[in-house]
Amino acid sequence: MGFSTYKELGDYFIKLGATYALFKMLSENDNSKQQIYLGGSFNVLQQLPFGEIKEYVDIAKPNYKAPMDFYWINDSLDYAKAPNTQLILYPKYPEVRLSGFLSECDTAPSKDLQPIPKEARGESNQKDGRVLILGICPDKKVYAYLATKNSTLAKDIEQSLYSNIPEKDRKVLNQFPLKSNDIADKDSLILMLRDLVNKDWIQSVRMYADGSTRPYNASNGGGYTMEAHFGIIPNGEAAPDYKGWELKSHSKTRITLMTPEPDKGLYHEIGAKEFAIRYGHYTKKENERYFTGPFQVNKPCKVSDLKMVLSGFNLKTQKIDDAAGGIMLINQSEEPVAIWSFSSLLQHWCNKHHHACYVRYQSKVDSDKNRFYKYSPIVHLGEGTDFAKFLNAMVNGYVQYDPGIKVIFDENGESKAKPRSQFRTTLKKLETLYDSFEKVDIFKDI
C-alpha cells in the first residue's frame, strides 16, 4: 500500500495528530551503524521533541543523549514504537545524530537502513534517493516513515518539495507541508496579541489546572494574565507556550529568560533555603536572609563571596570541549558549590527559545486592591538561536544570574524559602541571542 504522494502522507500524519513535519534526503552514511545525521549544531534540538538530556562523559567520545517517543509507520499503515530511539549530541564537533531507531520495532524499515557495502558505495556522503519523513505531535510523539529509493513517494518529495527549495536555504531537516485549515503560527500569535491589547486594562487572572480562570492579585500576575488569554495553564515544563512560541512578559527593561535550578553541587544537595542561609546576607531585619546577585561570569559579585564561572566552553572555537562542564558558582577555595550542567541548560534553552515573543506591560491597583494590566502593541520577536549564543552572552555579561531567594525565620526559629534562580538580560541585549530579532507593531507591521 504505502503512500504515492507527499500529500497522502501528510494527510495520514494529520490523522495521527501531527501538527508539523520535517523531511531529510538521506545519504549512504545514514544507516543503523553510522546513525542518521541530523545537523552540525545543536539547532536541531529546537525542531524535534525529546526527553531528559543526560551526559555521558566517561567514554571515548563524551556526549549527551536524549530519548525520543518514536514510532515507525510501515506500508500497511501500521505503526509501532521503536523504544530505544534517542538523539546523541556530540559537543566536540558539534553534531546531532539519531540512534537506536530500529531495535525492538516490528514496523521499522530495517532492510532499507542497513550500511552500504564498501564496494557498492558511491561518492562520499552523496544523496541516495531515500527520504526520511517525521511527523511531530503536540504530545511529543514522533511518527516516522521511510520513502525508499526510486519509490513514487521519494520522487514526488524530490520533485515537488526539495527541488523547489533554493540551494542556499536547504537544510538537513526541511519543512514538510501539512494541509491545515489553521492560519500560520506567527499570524495566529499576532491576532491573539491584538485581541489582548484591544482589551486595554485587564484584571489580573490566572488559569488553573482544572481550566478555570480566577482573579490573581499578587504582583507577578503580568505573565499569568497574558497566558490565561492564550488559554495556557502555567506549568514547569521546558516547552514553548503557544504554537511553538515562548511568551515572555516584562514590565521593565530587565527580562528573565529562564529559571532553571542548579542540577549539581551543594545547592542541589541541600536545597535553596539552606544554600541561602549559608551563602546569603542579612538585611536590616534580623529574621530575614537573602541570597541575591547579580552574578556575572568571571566578575566579583558585590553582595556575595561566591563567583560565577563558565567551565568547559571554548570561546575561540565556540564549542563545548568538556561535556561535564557548565555554569558554576565557586567559593573562595575555587570549589564549585552550585552547578548548572550543559545538559540541563541545553534542555531549557533549546526547547523554549527557538521562537520567543517579548511583550511589555503596565500595571495598576484600584481602590479595592484589585490588580490590572495593560499590554503594549510594540512587541519583540526573536527567531532562531543556538546554545553557543547563550553561552557567549554569559561570557560577555549580557546575561547574568540574578537569584532572589528570601528566607524568613518565625519566632520559633522555623524558616521557609522559595527557589528563585533567574538568568536575566536587558531588552537591548536580546538581539545577541537570536538569528533574527525584530521590533513589531502588531497593528501595523504584520
Mean pLDDT (whole number) for 87-100: 94
pLDDT greater than 70 at residue 436? yes
Write out pLDDT tens, residues 40-61.
Answer: 888 888 889 999 999 998 888 8
**CATH T-level fold of 185-441:** Alpha-Beta Plaits (3.30.70)
pLDDT greater than 80 at residue 109? yes
Q: Specify the pairing of strand 95-99 against strand 86-90.
A: antiparallel
Asked whether 66 and 52 are in contact (CB, 8 A), the reply is yes
Class in CATH terms, 6-176: mainly beta
What is the value of pTM for the model shown?
0.86
pLDDT for 63: 93
- Range list of β-strands (E), 161-284: 174-176, 202-203, 205-207, 213-215, 246-250, 254-258, 281-282
DSSP string computed for 34-78: TBEEEESSGGGGGTS-----EEE-SSSS-EEEEE-EEEEE-TTS-
Helix, strand, coil abundance in the chain, percent, nearest 5: 25, 35, 45
pLDDT greater than 70 at residue 257? yes
The neighbour count for residue 282, using CB atoms within 10 Å, is 11
Q: Specify the pairing of strand 371-383 against strand 436-441.
A: antiparallel
Alpha-carbon Rg for the chain, nearest whole angstrom, is 24
pLDDT greater than 50 at residue 181? no
Q: Which residues pair with 63 in a beta bridge?
A: 56
- C-alpha closest to that of 46 among 316, 323, 264, 238: 238
* Confidence tier at 151 by pLDDT (50, 70, 90): very high
Q: Domain boundaries in the chain?
A: 6-176, 185-441
On the 0-12 / 13-18 / 19+ scale of CB atoms within 10 A, 38 is buried
pLDDT greater than 80 at residue 219? yes
Write out pLDDT tens, residues 2-51.
Answer: 899 999 999 999 999 998 899 999 999 999 999 999 998 888 888 899 99
Give the residue with greater pLDDT, 247 vs 415.
247
pLDDT for 236: 57
Cα-Cα-Cα-Cα dihedral of 40, 350, 437, 246, to 10°? 150
pLDDT greater than 90 at residue 242? no
Written as one letter, the residue type at 163 is S
Write out pLDDT tens, residues 56-66.
Answer: 988 888 899 99
DSSP annotation of 433 reads G
Write out pLDDT tens, residues 262-298.
Answer: 999 999 999 999 999 999 987 777 788 899 999 999 9
Domain 185-441 in the same topology as domain 6-176: no
Cα 175 from Cα 47, distance rounded (Å): 10
Q: Within 13 Å and on the Cβ side, how many CA atoms surround 24? A: 20
- C-alpha closest to that of 320 among 401, 387, 262, 259: 387
Mean pLDDT (whole number) for 353-360: 91
Write out pLDDT tens, residues 116-138.
Answer: 777 666 666 678 899 999 999 98
Q: At what angle do helices 387-395 and 342-352 cross, to 10 degrees?
A: 110
Mean pLDDT (whole number) for 97-126: 86
Give the residue with greater pLDDT, 124 vs 164.
164
